[in-house]
Structure 1
Amino acid sequence: MLSIEQKRAIHHAIPMSGIDPHGRIIGQGQFRYLIDAHWGKLDPLKYPIENCHAMVMDSLGRIFMVTDNINNNILVYSQQGELLDAFGNGFPGGHAIKIVKEDEQEYLYVVDSGWIVNRHWDGYSTEQWDSPTNNVIPQAGFIAKMTLDGKLIYSIGHPQTCGAYTPDQPFRPTDIAIAPNGDLYVTDGYGSDYLLHYDKQGRYINHWGGHANTDENDNLKNTHGIEIDLRDPNQPKLMVSSRFEQCLKVFSLDGQFLEKISTNGAYIGGPVFKDDVFYAPVCWSHIDNHNAADSGFISIFDVNNNIVANLGAVQPEYSNGELQPMQSDGDVFNHVHCICVDQDDNLYVGQWNASNSYPMKLIRVC
């Protein structure tokens, strides 16, 4: 926890033009943050974005963000919000990004979810994604492994090419996790809702999930995000969001179901681990029996996988061990889609469907 002097130093060190107009602090308990809403703002004519879909930090502390604007799919920031690099035009559905270190070199994995701007758009349709005249339409997605400056190493395409899917099964992947041995785990959250397992060379091993299992714990519904939980070094686990079930599911690395973590009221994305806690973006709150617009927030979980704080939402409450329904307070975020955590536990937050907004920074003050 920061001292009074450190908190004062934070307030004096940041230009007031870069902070929420009211200098607002959000959060609860030991997780409270000052909003810097202008941290990532750039000239939209030079560096346009549609959505901030994912962020990750490399070993030098640089923050890589993937967008779905093909003028600059990848934006690279310093922690002070300075633009360091911008590149890439091959990911019209850019959706997830991870960094892995192999020997002494770091590599990017970028996931394209298959959504693409429709050149036959009728000029007004934006909701019917299965319509040939909608603004955004689906195609097959893919995964690319690249160097940090954007040179392609290899790509993984539709699983029909390895016999895992039939040609009629859609493949629109949403996230990727990399195990300590280099194996890859890919969530097909906008396609057929399977979790696919590949080796480090991108060779198919197996898959599980989908919607038709006898045990509903094995099902995945809009499986949006995934990460490896390494908090127990003797038993690495996969933590996977089943977003439309409002929960996270925990599996062994070979696909055995272990645990379900309720996120009652929250359509939650994949976890971001830091030390013993993890953070998860919430795209929507469940309000009036549906996923409500402009109702995103951030949940923070402790070592026991209980939610201990919400940023931009009501404080989490448990009754007899059961999480009570959560929802946004409605005035901080639109749809939180990604989170990056730095060495000082500050958060960098990107959003989907938020009027082309650039990422913001949440500065931890206690």
Structure 2
Amino acid sequence: MLCSLTEKQKQQIAHPFPKNGQDPHGKMIGHGKFKYKVDAHWGKLDPQQYPIENCHAMVIDAQGRIFMITDNTQNNILVYSQQGELLDAFGTLFPGGHALKIVKEGEQEFLYVVDSGWIVNRHWDGHSKEQWDSPTNNVIPQAGFIAKMTLDGKLVYTIGHPQTYGAYTPEQPFRPTDIAIAPNGDLYVTDGYGSDFLLHFDKHGRYIKHWGGHDNSDTNYNLHNTHGIEVDLRDANNPTLIVSSRFEQCLKVFSLQGEYLSKISASGAYIGGPVFKGELFYAPVCWSHIDERNADDSGFISIFDQSNKIVANLGAPQPVYIEGELQPMQTDWQIFNHVHCICVDQDDNLYVGQWNSSNSYPMKLIKQN
């Protein structure tokens, strides 16, 4: 174990919260059988030694350790115990660190890291934070990549710009956002900050095909800011892909061969990819759609049942369906800034990381029986 802060030390480290600076530690959130107690101090570390920019992804390995990636290159990957102790820290090569997945091959687990291509701008003007195409913005884009690694950080291989294997032309941007691994080891990568395609590779990282983008005659195949992806194994005989089309405020379901199957509405929620646990899946919402825009500090978590219907929202008003249609939400957010990642442990506790939340560390939501 590298370090473990006492409760007094945790209290001494500043932590920003969206609602008038109020600390939600100990607050109860949720609805029905989905109620949680907020441990807002769970992931706090010394920001001088373990700084973060954004908490972009969290996954759990077979030992129950929680891996988190940030886009701070002092140590991109932090490894926590479920009690919030830091067990390991490594990685300095992912300035756009954005997604993690763990897969077991034989007796060994491997870590897939997705770098979305955003880097801190050394020519930043000191205040610009939203004009992504400005040379003086605080972050600027470059090409992204995918890395396969061992759990202790040794590189196995990388997948780079699709122009190198003939899938893209050089002028098409590649800034991937997430990855999913099928039962046969095939990889599916969303290019959500680049050209919005979904790319399919075999387990060795060799390109097979891609689909999506913006200009399909059948608009069901279009993807807009496709931010997250996972393989849905709830029907063992018919695995599918659930893919977020975040700026369409929905999730789209495809076959593993790329055939469009259906759409899951998120009605006003800029939703990320699913995290499965049993028959449920959990999805992070970065923003809510208010006054014709994605509103700041309006993130929350949606929980979907086996029929892909929302059964609870955490940190936001509860879902309302009228004649089977999900209704837009009212403006009432309680806890979060912009939820970007979730992982679920063996006891159904949730670990939550956020984007653009003043460098805040992840928190834990403790399931109540």
TM range (shorter): over 0.9
Quick one: distance in 1 between partners of 2:157 and 2:70? 20
Residue in structure 2 matched with residue 133 of structure 1 by the alignment: 136
- Does structure 1 residue 232 correspond to structure 2 residue 235? yes
Q: Is the 8 A contact 1:285 1:327 kept in 2?
A: no
Matching residue within 339, 344, 356 for 1:336: 339
What displacement does 1:326 show?
2.5
Residue in structure 2 matched with residue 7 of structure 1 by the alignment: none
Assess, with a 3 A threshold, how the Cα gap between structure 1 residues 95 and 22 changes in structure 2: closer, same or farther: closer
Residue in structure 2 matched with residue 264 of structure 1 by the alignment: 267
Q: Is the 8 A contact 2:285 2:300 kept in 1?
A: yes
- Does structure 1 residue 90 correspond to structure 2 residue 60? no
What displacement does 1:124 show?
1.6
Question: Which stretch has the larger CA shift, 17-26 or 108-117?
Answer: 17-26
What displacement does 1:365 show?
0.2
Identity of aligned residues (%): 80
- Does structure 1 residue 350 correspond to structure 2 residue 335? no
Assess, with a 3 A threshold, how the Cα gap between structure 1 residues 21 and 188 changes in structure 2: closer, same or farther: closer
Q: TM-score, normalised by structure 1?
A: 0.94
Assess, with a 3 A threshold, how the Cα gap between structure 1 residues 44 and 126 changes in structure 2: closer, same or farther: same
Residue in structure 2 matched with residue 320 of structure 1 by the alignment: 323
Quick one: distance in 2 between partners of 1:321 and 1:127? 37
Quick one: distance in 2 between partners of 1:364 and 1:229? 23
Residue in structure 2 matched with residue 117 of structure 1 by the alignment: 120
Quick one: distance in 2 between partners of 1:301 and 1:312? 15
Letter aligned with residue 54 of structure 2: N
Q: TM-score, normalised by structure 2?
A: 0.94
Structure 2 unaligned segments of length 5 or more: list them.
Answer: 1-6, 12-21
- Does structure 1 residue 164 correspond to structure 2 residue 170? no
Residue in structure 2 matched with residue 186 of structure 1 by the alignment: 189
Residue in structure 2 matched with residue 104 of structure 1 by the alignment: 107
Q: Can you list the C-alpha shifts for 1:143-180, whole angstroms capped at 9, x where unaligned?
A: 00000000000000000001000000000000000000
- Does structure 1 residue 244 correspond to structure 2 residue 247? yes
Please state whether the residue corresponding to 1:313 is helix, strand or coil: coil
Residue in structure 1 matched with residue 19 of structure 2 by the alignment: none
Quick one: distance in 1 between partners of 2:32 and 2:42? 24
Quick one: distance in 1 between partners of 2:207 and 2:98? 21
Quick one: distance in 2 between partners of 1:28 and 1:124? 40
What displacement does 1:329 show?
2.3
Quick one: distance in 2 between partners of 1:69 and 1:213? 37
Quick one: distance in 1 between partners of 2:287 and 2:24? 25
Within a 5 Å distance, the mapping from 1:210-229 to structure 2 comes to 210-229=213-232
Letter aligned with residue 263 of structure 1: A
Quick one: distance in 2 between partners of 1:327 and 1:54? 28
What displacement does 1:127 show?
1.2
What displacement does 1:84 show?
0.1
Residue in structure 1 matched with residue 17 of structure 2 by the alignment: none
What displacement does 1:331 show?
2.8
Letter aligned with residue 329 of structure 1: D
Q: Can you list the C-alpha shifts for 1:195-226, whole angstroms capped at 9, x where unaligned?
A: 00000000000000000001111100000000
Residue in structure 1 matched with residue 54 of structure 2 by the alignment: 51
Matching residue within 28, 31, 34 for 1:31: 34
Q: Can you list the C-alpha shifts for 1:41-86, whole angstroms capped at 9, x where unaligned?
A: 0000000000000000000000000000000100000000000000
Letter aligned with residue 220 of structure 1: L
Quick one: distance in 2 between partners of 1:245 and 1:276? 25
- Does structure 1 residue 300 correspond to structure 2 residue 316? no
Q: How many positions carry a matched residue from both structures?
A: 353
Question: Which stretch has the larger CA shift, 114-123 or 220-229?
Answer: 114-123
What displacement does 1:24 show?
1.3
Letter aligned with residue 134 of structure 1: N
Q: Can you list the C-alpha shifts for 1:319-360, whole angstroms capped at 9, x where unaligned?
A: 011000125622300000000000000000000000000000
Q: Is the 8 A contact 2:340 2:355 kept in 1?
A: yes
- Does structure 1 residue 68 correspond to structure 2 residue 68? no
Residue in structure 2 matched with residue 4 of structure 1 by the alignment: none
Report the RMSD for the aligned CA atoms in angstroms.
1.5
What displacement does 1:20 show?
5.5
Matching residue within 196, 201, 211 for 2:199: 196
Structure 1 unaligned segments of length 5 or more: list them.
Answer: 1-14
Quick one: distance in 2 between partners of 1:42 and 1:328? 32
Question: Which stretch has the larger CA shift, 17-26 or 274-283?
Answer: 17-26
